[in-house]
């Protein structure tokens, strides 16, 4: 009986994401912001009443949290574990068969593939590069599972990121998150979120449209120095000799 109950519960959860509109809402909410029902309706190209029905199901299913301010209804992903679930599923989904139809769509896709937020941490090619550079610098280590090293504590202190508050929180300090464009891990967990915030605070990165993130002119050399990589390695693919960004 327990197996039957668990099976029905899992099927119910899967059904919540089995609709393209509801799945699209969850992908949009990976930017970490709270959206109104109207904003999500416009992003998905559906009627407000249709969006409201879908959002009610997602809230009741525990994937979204709801806030009301006056007549406005705001929704966000319920917690980081939901963001992890959505990103992991996106990483296992087939790549779109059709290329973008317009230059604007292609540019937006390339920007997301280069750097974006995955809920509250960096994703895309820049996020994967950050993950790999931290391993190469000895900030992180995989000897017994992904972990922060003493060298990493000193590196974070120099960067202005206090470690102890991150350790004291409920979230894992460091965690791999499968990147859905690069199909390799980027850094999640409390540390991934703290680094994303710190780079924004330092002005090394800036938010673009939607989930997109860009390196600022001052940020590229500064981040390259912090990671001990060539600044050219941080350039968006379209400005390198390696060709356009991946879809």
Rounded CA separation 177/184 (Å)? 8
DSSP code at position 72: E
Q: What is the dihedral of CA 89, 90, 96, 100, to 10 degrees?
A: 160
| Sequential pLDDT tens for the chain (247 residues) | 444 557 888 888 889 999 999 999 998 888 878 888 888 999 888 998 999 999 999 999 999 999 888 777 899 998 888 888 888 887 777 766 566 667 766 777 788 889 998 888 999 999 999 999 999 999 999 988 899 999 999 999 999 999 999 998 888 999 998 887 888 899 999 999 999 999 999 999 999 887 889 999 999 999 999 999 999 999 886 544 433 333 3
pTM of structure: 0.73
CB contact at 8 A, 22 and 40:
no
CB contact at 8 A, 193 and 121:
yes
């Amino acid at each position: 009986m327990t197996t039957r109950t668990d099976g029905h519960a899992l099927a119910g959860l899967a059904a919540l994401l089995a609709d393209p509109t509801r799945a699209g809402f969850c992908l949009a909410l990976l930017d970490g912001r709270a959206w109104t029902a109207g904003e999500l309706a416009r992003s998905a190209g559906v009627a407000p009443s249709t969006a409201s029905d879908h959002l009610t199901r997602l809230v009741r299913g525990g994937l979204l949290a709801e806030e009301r301010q006056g007549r406005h209804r705001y929704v966000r992903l319920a917690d980081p574990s939901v963001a992890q679930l959505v990103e992991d599923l996106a990483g296992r989904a087939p790549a779109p068969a059709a290329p973008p139809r317009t230059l604007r769509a292609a540019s937006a896709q390339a920007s997301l593939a280069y750097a974006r937020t995955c809920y509250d941490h960096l994703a895309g090619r820049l996020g994967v590069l950050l993950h790999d550079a931290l391993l190469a610098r000895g900030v992180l280590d995989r000897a017994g599972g992904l972990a922060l090293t003493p060298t990493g504590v000193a590196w974070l202190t120099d960067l202005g990121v206090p470690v102890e508050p991150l350790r004291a929180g409920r979230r894992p300090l460091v965690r791999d998150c499968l990147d859905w464009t690069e199909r390799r891990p980027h850094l999640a967990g409390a540390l991934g979120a703290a680094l994303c915030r710190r780079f924004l605070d330092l002005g090394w990165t800036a938010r673009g449209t939607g989930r997109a993130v860009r390196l600022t002119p001052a940020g590229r050399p500064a981040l390259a120095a912090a990671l001990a990589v060539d600044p050219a390695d941080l350039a968006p693919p379209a400005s390198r000799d390696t060709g356009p960004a991946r879809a």
